[in-house]
Amino acid sequence: MSFCETRERRLHEVLPFTAAPAQVGLLRRSVRRTMRQWGAEAITDQAELAVTELATNVLKHVGDGAPAVAVLEPRGDCLRVEVHDSSRSVPVLSEMCAEAECGRGLHLIAAMSQDWGTLYTADGKAVWCELSLEPARQGMSVQRAAMVLDEYRRVVGADPVPARMAAEECVSDVIADLLHWLVASGGDAVETLGRARMHFEAEAA
């Protein structure tokens, strides 16, 4: 399954939990399972850390046993992580901080996120952050390419686990065969190669 949004289905995971140390551990496992199901393993550690810190803030500042909800949702180039609770007290990112009580968790969130903030809801507030999905997209591209190469080597009877040089030759063969197919179908090989190179360089950057 891809984390990309489609017209048929928009990925959206809602994880209710109770603010307690044991529940935070269960919440991390749920986040890891969701990232695996969405094919976004490359950002699992970041997503787990974000949810852990936001859930821990609920435990510390709203209270042990407080009901809360974590929400995960891909939005464009980012994974949106929200933790909702019943308090309307807004967390503050202090300038000087050495302990978790003064906002160390928020410093971690701010450092690892593209953006973060707080919004009021009908029942309290939600603290949110957005994590880049680019590592996950690159990881999925590598996985898809590996599947294509494995099938290609199977069809041509090549070594299933080639050395680096042989792997590069295999990639060249796959590209050449695809271009032959494209030309036979009426496509433009040069234009397609140029477009593929631009996509690769943009994603690599």
What pLDDT is recorded for position 102? 46
Domain covering 13-133, topology: Heat Shock Protein 90 (3.30.565)
What pLDDT is recorded for position 73? 95
**pTM for the structure as a whole:** 0.65
| Burial category of 132 from C-beta neighbours within 10 Å (exposed 0-12, middle 13-18, buried 19 and up) | middle
What pLDDT is recorded for position 176? 86
The residue type found at 128 is W
* 54 vs 68: CA distance, rounded Å: 10
* 103 vs 107: CA distance, rounded Å: 6
Dihedral of CA atoms 162, 164, 167, 171 in degrees, nearest 10, equals 170
Segments of the chain scoring below 70 in pLDDT: 1-9, 93-104, 136-143, 158-166, 202-205
Domain ranges of the chain: 13-133, 137-204
What pLDDT is recorded for position 166? 66
* 52 vs 54: CA distance, rounded Å: 6
Q: Return the number of other C-beta atoms located less than 10 Å from residue 124's C-beta.
A: 16
What pLDDT is recorded for position 106? 82
* DSSP-assigned beta bridge partners for residue 126: 84, 119
pLDDT digits (tens, 9 = 90+) for 55-96: 998 998 899 999 999 999 999 889 999 999 999 988 876 644
